Structure 1
Amino acid sequence: MGLLSVGTPLSWEETKYYANHVRHHGIEQFINLYHRLKERTNDCLYFGDEVEYTFVKFDDANRTARVCLKAQYYLEKLADLAKKGKGCKDVEWAHEYASYVIEGIPGKPFGALSSHFNTVEDNMKRRRKHIYSLLEHSDETILSITVFPRLGCPSFTYPEKPPLPTSSVSRSLFWPDEAINNSHPRFKTLTRNIRERRGKKVDINVPIFVDVNTPQPWIEDLPTEGSTDAKPNHIYMDAMGFGMGLSCLQMTFQASNILEARHLYDQLTPLTPILMALSAASPIYRGYLADIDHRWSVIAASVDDRTAEEKGEVPLKTDRFMINKSRYDSIDSYLSTEGSKYNDIPLVYDQEIFQRLRDGGIDDLLAKHFAHLFIRDPISLFKEKLTSDDEVDTDHFENIQSTNWQTMRFKPPPANSQIGWRVEFRPTECQLTDFENAAFTVFVVMLTRVILSYNLNMLIPISKVDENIKRAQKRDAVITERFYFRKSVSTSCSTPDASACIKKNQCSSSTINGGDASNTTLTSTSDQRPCSESYLQELSIDEIINGHADKFTGLIPFILDYMDNIEIDVDTRCTVSRYLDLISKRASGKLQTTARYIRNFVANHPDYKKDSVVSQEINYDLMKRFDQISKGLIACPDFLPDGKSKSKSSIPKAVLAANSDQTKS
């Protein structure tokens, strides 16, 4: 969730007063940090993941499922066990925005050796097992789902808490304050300040999925007061929680140095829409089937603090910039020399901050990147953090850096730590099982290794990345949409043959496994200037992932070739191959995405009236099904590879016993 400073939160008016102060000192802090650490090199290629878990409460007698507002309670139990030396080994836990969600991460990063790919799923299983063991009631469970289908519906929380549209921090018609994490003042402060900065509460409109019995036009009967932004044929939501209360899977990669981090940031960016479509898992909002499968536009709207002037709805008068996107959106510029040729959309940035960065010794591309991020105001500020030592502190820098939630994040080393230059990959939806989450994590990690080892060029114009992101969120995008992609991603040889490339590259497989990558260069080895778009083509996800004989080698064939060229033990190869099998079959449509599985479940439920409504009964049965799949109690051959949903190793025996009767029925 970002920086969690401790202190007394300031009101929006106070925060606004100090905005320039935070921006000024934040930039000074970055300049100082940059010069301390710009020569840092030879860092290990560590990686890590973040998985978010939703607490769910069942009422079997009344056939209801609700989110359980006990995340803080269980976090305290987890912390207490850790203090006593009884915590889960190599696992850490963190707060999230919603009071029904916690985040689990590895206690220490996974290493650069290929054998570490074989430990990711085990770590995820131990996280889940540890939480399961703490649950105090048999009607409670945890699910690694992206969205609880009936968020915002009447009585969607346990205990039941009503929304207070005239007095709550969000002013929502649907969302109670109690569903916001109350353990840290940052969360409600963000909610209040976003609403006050934009001058009204947030408005989220998601297109409704029109089924045979869905009224046309579809218009909800909502209270007039507070719902004027609702659009016909759209599901209306009006609180930050509808976005920040969702869950995701994120991955962070440490590079060997700053140049390699910038290179990875750029090269992974065109892959963000591809992983969006592959991981799609959120087709239901506020109890209605939507015509999208991915959360991205929902969460972008949920934290969009732009004013009418900044959106271009009225002429600029008191605000400084017209801003094209929410602060939660896709990136607007590449950071490497080779990437700069593809920066084809106007970049809005603060000229004064840009000049200070240039005067401070920051190159043009990086200066524009941070001058762009710093057009935003701080939206959560604490009184005790106003005074800072810019030589050593980074709180003001992180205040704005961590509230620009983009598809990729370039992350300088934290102050006073051994952590190096990193990039964060942020678009992936949370998957239901540890096997799936591990598969997506390892797949993206393997892509970083292949990109660096083969010196691949994934770059396409930023405008095409933005178009791909729009397509990736559409219903069934993984099998129906086509995406802009390069005809060839090879740079060091004239053919897309991976095995030939690795033999010609200076960046050897031993380097990728932890050697010296300090000689990494960001200068393109081929002169494929994007003066035209002849180097681009539109491909299906299947063609991008699995390849096509006449169009593209395929990302998985590159990974397989890479594994043939490095030292990798049999067990790890087998594990990675299982993960690639899942990714391959999701891409080809042989296995359903989570979103498609949900849609089919709803469509075939006896209570579904083909009217786009996901009733309490449907939701209960879906959450029960998800609980059984998560615990390995049933197989889903159309959703998971054979046998992958049957592993019970991560579930305590007591939990399995408590569920056995339900499974038999």
Structure 2
Amino acid sequence: MGLLSLGTPLHWKDAKGYADHVRRNGIEQFLNIYRHVKDRQRDRLRWGDEIEYMVISYDHENRNARLSLRVFEILEVLQREENEAQGDPEKMAKLKTAWRPEYGRFMIEGTPGVPYDGDLSSLLKVESNMKLRRALVQAQLRPNEAIVCITSFPRLGTLGVFLDPHHEPNGDACRSLFTPDEIINPHARFPTLTANIRRRRGAKVAINMPVFHDVNTPRPFHDPTIPVHRGLFPEDEEAAAGAALPDHIYMDAMVFGMGCACLQITFQACNINEARRLYDQMAPIGPIMLALTAAAPIFRGYLADVDCRWNVIAQSVDDRPREERGLEPLKDSRFVINKSRYDSIDCYISTDSQLRPEYNDLDLVYDKDICQRLMDNGVDELLARHVAHLFIRDPLVIFRELVDQDNTVSSDHFENLQSTNWQTMRFKPPPPNSDIGWRVEFRSMEIQMTDFENAAFAIFVVLLTRAMLSFGLNFYIPVSKMDENMRRAHRRDAARTEKFYFRKQVMTTPGDKLGPVEDEYELMTIDEIFNGKADGSFPGLIPIVNSYLNSINMDVETGCHLSRYLGLVRARANGSLITTASWIRQFVQKHPAYKHDSVVSQEINYDLVRAMDEIGRGERAVPELLGNFA
């Protein structure tokens, strides 16, 4: 959940006139924070997870699973304890859960009430806290409602009824052919963000995911359900004019991306240098974890030829006009920008001696004036370039009442741009005048159906960061190879069929002789990356984590608990257990109503969502997905 401010949001034609003002003052706010806390040391190693849930409303009579738009009624109850504890540190410290809205009005974000400590015992609380969150939401639901962990709701934007209550897609904010504005979080930030992305781009967002060609899928595939000549808004003709690509599933609204759910982990580091190191070293892990947690093979009622959500979100918030996309010469825009606001990182930022200049091999687009201003005020070049790269974007939502701020106590202008650069990793400076330290957010993973799975992947990532810091691990590969890994991670069944660029030697020392960067990495399978190579040339991430656990004299009980979680990750990596995306795909293809034409009908979706609901509550056995671990 990004920055939520109260006030009067400006239409893009007015907001764009304040873009330089926000950038200028946002940099001043960052510098004030940097000067104040750049030398801060010995913050506690803490972390927390974020899980995004969807609330489902069943129409059993018509065999229909719909997205419930009743979430804000539920949130009012869930947030009551937290709201009552505000201003009382003792009560705040005892909170077990915390709740936030998300972009979709059918989504709820749940986190631990307070961050977990860095000790191993905290890891044993993760799954039980996730179960508590699920139970607290479930207690507020009606008999026909359920809380389900779904990365992408399969029938979002289809013909027919997929919302409860139903609304026609005729809203002015997104002007979508498929989804109504009522699906969007009603806070002023979200419809304004949606509309201003469209206004700045000069067209609706155009999301195209390759369709899965089954035996009865037409070739070429042209979606017959797109109302190409609706004629309600000027943008309605875009689909017929080429925005909808043949052999692709076409979507045209921000909710198709930002309505996806994920599992994110945020770490608080001991100091700024450790945070920068965590940012760099975990970045190459992002695409690998995306492939391993893949859980999104269906969009707008069609089986896709991809397994992940990431590119859908990237396209759903792509506000670049044609000039910034390199389709026309620069005239009104400042830069040609090669990626959406939501994408993989573009540069490493650590002060670590392991970072070779050759790893930052992209031609980074950044605001050179901002970079120089940061450097003139004591920020080193790597971090200055990173911030100046974020600030090539325009602020999309500006509140009239917050245009002028006290830069010594506010970070709203900085966060306006920081929070709308959605990358695989996020480097997070402390809020002004707070006891929160330097943080790093790991953002690539997809949500899993069960609390056990989500706990397993969260715990693995946490343990990997501890092993990385303890052993001084080196995961650096060129940024361009990370981008290639992101592309590979999306492919169908990538966890079992693809190879990914990964570093050959992760145990390095500053005195090692350096050769060509190209000799430092190679293509490996997910199994080899996680479990090691058969010839012993690469140890594997899980054996490294186990070595770390052995080095700290872990007690037997904790070891038994953690081995279950690591066992699931190991089995998913070696292919003995399938990914969530593969399970969903197989469920659809085996359904008696499936016609092998890529169409996921209302009936199939009803049975699929109910099965996912049952799995999430532990009422349905799926040994091909969970084995004997859960």
SS in structure 1 opposite 2:518?
A: coil
- Mapped to 1, the partners of 2:156 and 2:150 lie a distance apart of 13
Which of residues 639, 642, 648 is equivalent to 2:628?
A: 642
Segments of 5+ residues of structure 1 without an aligned counterpart are 493-523, 645-665
1:574 aligns with 2:560: yes
Q: What is the match of residue 150 of structure 2?
A: 145
- Mapped to 2, the partners of 1:83 and 1:459 lie a distance apart of 43
Deviates more, 1:313-322 or 1:75-84: 75-84
Give the aligned residue type for 1:351.
Answer: K
Q: What is the match of residue 199 of structure 2?
A: 196
1:619 aligns with 2:613: no
Q: C-alpha displacement at 1:564, in angstroms?
A: 0.7
Give the aligned residue type for 1:156.
Answer: F
Question: Counterparts in 2 of 1:300-339, with a 5 A limit?
Answer: 300-337=314-351, 338-339=354-355
Q: What is the match of residue 449 of structure 1?
A: 466
SS in structure 1 opposite 2:523?
A: strand
- Mapped to 2, the partners of 1:532 and 1:329 lie a distance apart of 24
Post-superposition Cα deviations, 1:122-153, rounded to whole Å, max 9, x if no partner, equal: 11111011111111x21100011101100101
- Mapped to 2, the partners of 1:526 and 1:125 lie a distance apart of 47
Question: Counterparts in 2 of 1:16-55, with a 5 A limit?
Answer: 16-55=16-55
Q: CA RMSD in A?
A: 1.4
1:586 aligns with 2:572: yes
1:170 aligns with 2:177: no
- Mapped to 1, the partners of 2:265 and 2:192 lie a distance apart of 27
Q: C-alpha displacement at 1:83, in angstroms?
A: 5.1
Q: What is the match of residue 555 of structure 1?
A: 541
1:119 aligns with 2:135: no
SS in structure 2 opposite 1:219?
A: coil
1:539 aligns with 2:524: yes
Change (3 A) 1:643 1:258: closer
Change (3 A) 1:144 1:393: same
Give the aligned residue type for 1:533.
Answer: E
Q: What is the match of residue 294 of structure 2?
A: 280
TM-score, normalized by length of structure 2? 0.95
Deviates more, 1:79-88 or 1:114-123: 79-88
Post-superposition Cα deviations, 1:110-130, rounded to whole Å, max 9, x if no partner, equal: 001111111111111110111
Q: C-alpha displacement at 1:440, in angstroms?
A: 0.6
Which of residues 383, 394, 401 is equivalent to 1:384?
A: 401
* Alignment check: 8 A CA contact 2:315 2:340 kept: yes
1:270 aligns with 2:273: no
- Mapped to 2, the partners of 1:219 and 1:274 lie a distance apart of 32
Which of residues 209, 216, 219 is equivalent to 2:219?
A: 216
Which of residues 408, 413, 420 is equivalent to 1:396?
A: 413
Change (3 A) 1:396 1:84: closer
Which of residues 138, 160, 169 is equivalent to 1:132?
A: 138
* Alignment check: 8 A CA contact 2:23 2:413 kept: yes
TM-score, normalized by length of structure 1? 0.90
Q: What is the match of residue 515 of structure 1?
A: none
SS in structure 2 opposite 1:18?
A: helix
* Alignment check: 8 A CA contact 2:67 2:106 kept: yes
SS in structure 2 opposite 1:617?
A: helix
- Mapped to 1, the partners of 2:513 and 2:437 lie a distance apart of 31
- Mapped to 1, the partners of 2:409 and 2:377 lie a distance apart of 16
* Alignment check: 8 A CA contact 1:340 1:365 kept: no
* Alignment check: 8 A CA contact 1:242 1:298 kept: yes
- Mapped to 2, the partners of 1:588 and 1:176 lie a distance apart of 42
Q: C-alpha displacement at 1:71, in angstroms?
A: 1.1
Post-superposition Cα deviations, 1:294-333, rounded to whole Å, max 9, x if no partner, equal: 0010000000000100000011011000000000001100
- Mapped to 2, the partners of 1:643 and 1:487 lie a distance apart of 31
Q: C-alpha displacement at 1:643, in angstroms?
A: 5.5
Change (3 A) 1:259 1:81: closer
- Mapped to 2, the partners of 1:571 and 1:113 lie a distance apart of 15
1:604 aligns with 2:590: yes
Aligned pairs, how many? 608
1:461 aligns with 2:461: no
- Mapped to 1, the partners of 2:429 and 2:629 lie a distance apart of 41
Post-superposition Cα deviations, 1:149-200, rounded to whole Å, max 9, x if no partner, equal: 0010121111111101xx5211100010111011x11111100000000001
Q: What is the match of residue 367 of structure 1?
A: 384
Q: C-alpha displacement at 1:78, in angstroms?
A: 1.4
Give the aligned residue type for 2:445.
Answer: T
Post-superposition Cα deviations, 1:608-650, rounded to whole Å, max 9, x if no partner, equal: 0000000000000001101111111121111113151xxxxxx
Segments of 5+ residues of structure 2 without an aligned counterpart are 86-90, 230-236
- Mapped to 2, the partners of 1:528 and 1:392 lie a distance apart of 46
SS in structure 2 opposite 1:633?
A: coil
Q: What is the match of residue 98 of structure 2?
A: 92
- Mapped to 2, the partners of 1:584 and 1:643 lie a distance apart of 11
* Alignment check: 8 A CA contact 1:118 1:571 kept: no
Question: Counterparts in 2 of 1:513-532, with a 5 A limit?
Answer: 524-528=510-514, 531-532=516-517
SS in structure 1 opposite 2:591?
A: coil
Q: What is the match of residue 108 of structure 1?
A: 114
1:80 aligns with 2:73: no
* Alignment check: 8 A CA contact 1:635 1:643 kept: no
SS in structure 2 opposite 1:533?
A: helix
- Mapped to 2, the partners of 1:627 and 1:197 lie a distance apart of 39
* Alignment check: 8 A CA contact 1:30 1:394 kept: yes
Q: C-alpha displacement at 1:391, in angstroms?
A: 1.7
Q: C-alpha displacement at 1:81, in angstroms?
A: 5.0
Question: Counterparts in 2 of 1:398-477, with a 5 A limit?
Answer: 398-477=415-494
SS in structure 2 opposite 1:148?
A: coil
Q: C-alpha displacement at 1:392, in angstroms?
A: 1.9
Q: What is the match of residue 652 of structure 1?
A: none
- Mapped to 2, the partners of 1:456 and 1:185 lie a distance apart of 44
Q: C-alpha displacement at 1:549, in angstroms?
A: 3.0
- Mapped to 2, the partners of 1:407 and 1:30 lie a distance apart of 21
Q: C-alpha displacement at 1:569, in angstroms?
A: 2.4
Post-superposition Cα deviations, 1:423-480, rounded to whole Å, max 9, x if no partner, equal: 0000000111110111010000001001010101000000000000100011000001
- Mapped to 1, the partners of 2:61 and 2:17 lie a distance apart of 54
Post-superposition Cα deviations, 1:378-411, rounded to whole Å, max 9, x if no partner, equal: 0011111111111221110010001000000000
Give the aligned residue type for 1:8.
Answer: T
Q: C-alpha displacement at 1:525, in angstroms?
A: 4.9
| Identity of matched residues, % | 56
- Mapped to 1, the partners of 2:124 and 2:627 lie a distance apart of 18
Which of residues 231, 249, 257 is equivalent to 2:271?
A: 257
* Alignment check: 8 A CA contact 1:9 1:185 kept: yes
* Alignment check: 8 A CA contact 2:82 2:95 kept: no
* Alignment check: 8 A CA contact 1:46 1:253 kept: yes
* Alignment check: 8 A CA contact 1:173 1:226 kept: no
